[in-house]
């Protein structure tokens, strides 16, 4: 006789703000004919008809009751009653208990991130109006080298250091993917190729991606697993492009009158990607 579910009992349930977030049931499986490890596996096979460990569309729990589409089976504890009967304790948690979903923006809406702002020291040769800084000095007539006659005036470029606010955006959530490492490689070091999170292109850089396995078994059928992923982005008000200037070897400073693309050049080294398209989600406020 094939193993079958004898009865299902609800042990406990937790609701928060109108949403079921924790659910525990006990299932008795009968007609189990085996010993040791095989008993446990047989019980699990009997339960698989309704207890898939992934969020699914509204269906049934095996006893005709409706299953919340956001509940995820996170644990199954098996205990032996006798040689042919086992009890299985099923623990379900809301999918968002361990982080927001990074799966379907259309379903869950925009994801929410955390922003921190710090101060960073910056050195620049550009003034507040976006023009190169120049300074000049007229040497006194008493100067041995440049006092004259004729009395000389030297002009050179200048730099200064100032403190600038730097924002860091991060968010964490659950994502189903077969290759989290490939996503990380495509993201880290890349810039936004179009307006994103309130800024124009090339202002945000993905600086970190971390992931840990969360529910690998849930995606075996489709060749993927669910991971808890963290994405971090840093904002640069001056863009992440670098400008290289010609320097006067005598002064170590850029001279005046530099011509674009000759005396100074803007270098765009970092790759550009569409963050929304690559991650498949939209960040609230972005």
Residue 279 is encoded by which pair of tokens? 């991650």
Q: Give the number of C-alpha atoms closer than 13 A to the C-alpha of residue 9, restricted to the C-beta side.
A: 8
The reply to whether 228 and 124 lie within a common domain is yes
284 within a domain of the structure (yes/no): no
Residue 273 has pLDDT above 90, yes or no: yes
Residue 99 · residue 174 · CB < 8 Å: yes
- Among 28-37, 190-199, 273-282, name the most confident range: 190-199
Domain tally, the chain: 2
Last residue of a domain, one of 96, 125, 144: 96
Last residue of a domain, one of 66, 96, 126: 96
Rg (CA), the chain: 31
The reply to whether 53 and 152 lie within a common domain is no
Last residue of a domain, one of 67, 96, 125: 96
pLDDT band at 227 (very low <50, low <70, confident <90, very high): confident
The Cα-based distances of 44 to 26, 27, 48, 153 in angstroms read 13, 11, 6, 88
Q: Which residue has the higher pLDDT, 89 or 35?
A: 89
Ranking 30-34, 173-177, 214-218 by mean pLDDT, the lowest is 214-218
The reply to whether 161 and 200 lie within a common domain is yes
pLDDT, position 256: 75
How many CB atoms are closer than 10 A to CB 1?
Answer: 8
How many CB atoms are closer than 10 A to CB 123?
Answer: 8
Which residue bears the tokens 């010609």? 246
pLDDT band at 235 (very low <50, low <70, confident <90, very high): very high
pTM of the predicted protein model:
0.63
Residue 72 · residue 215 · CB < 8 Å: yes
Residue 61 is encoded by which pair of tokens? 């729990």
Q: Which residue has the higher pLDDT, 173 or 223?
A: 173
The reply to whether 87 and 124 lie within a common domain is no
**Domain that residue 265 falls in:** 101-279
Name the residue among 168, 208, 210, 167 with its Cα closest to residue 188: 208
Mean pLDDT, residues 246-250: 80
**Three-class SS state of 142:** coil
């Amino acid at each position: 006789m094939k193993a079958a579910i004898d009865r299902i009992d609800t042990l406990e349930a937790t609701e928060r703000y109108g949403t079921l977030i924790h659910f525990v049931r006990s299932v008795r499986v009968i007609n189990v004919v085996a010993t040791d490890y095989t008993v446990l596996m047989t019980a699990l096979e009997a339960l698989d008809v309704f207890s898939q460990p992934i969020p699914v569309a509204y269906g049934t729990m095996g006893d005709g009751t409706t299953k919340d589409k956001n509940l995820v089976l996170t644990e199954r504890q098996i205990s032996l009653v006798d040689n042919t009967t086992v009890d299985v304790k099923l623990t379900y948690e809301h999918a968002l208990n361990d982080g927001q979903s990074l799966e379907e923006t259309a379903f869950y809406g925009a994801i929410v991130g955390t922003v921190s702002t710090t101060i960073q020291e910056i050195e620049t040769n550009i003034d507040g109006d976006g023009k190169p800084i120049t300074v000049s000095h007229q040497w006194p007539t008493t100067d041995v080298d440049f006092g004259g006659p004729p009395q000389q005036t030297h002009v050179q470029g200048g730099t200064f250091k100032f403190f600038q606010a730097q924002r860091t955006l991060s968010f964490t959530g659950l994502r189903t993917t077969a290759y989290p490492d490939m996503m990380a490689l495509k993201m880290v070091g890349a810039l936004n190729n179009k307006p994103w999170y309130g800024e124009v292109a090339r202002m945000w850089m993905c600086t970190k991606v971390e992931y840990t396995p969360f529910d690998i078994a849930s995606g075996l059928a489709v060749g993927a697993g669910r991971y808890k992923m963290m994405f971090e982005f840093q904002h640069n008000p001056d863009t992440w492009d670098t400008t290289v200037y010609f320097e006067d070897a005598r002064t170590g400073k850029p001279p005046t009158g530099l011509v674009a693309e000759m005396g100074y050049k803007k270098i765009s080294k970092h790759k550009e990607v569409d963050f929304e398209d690559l991650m498949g989600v939209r960040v609230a406020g972005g």
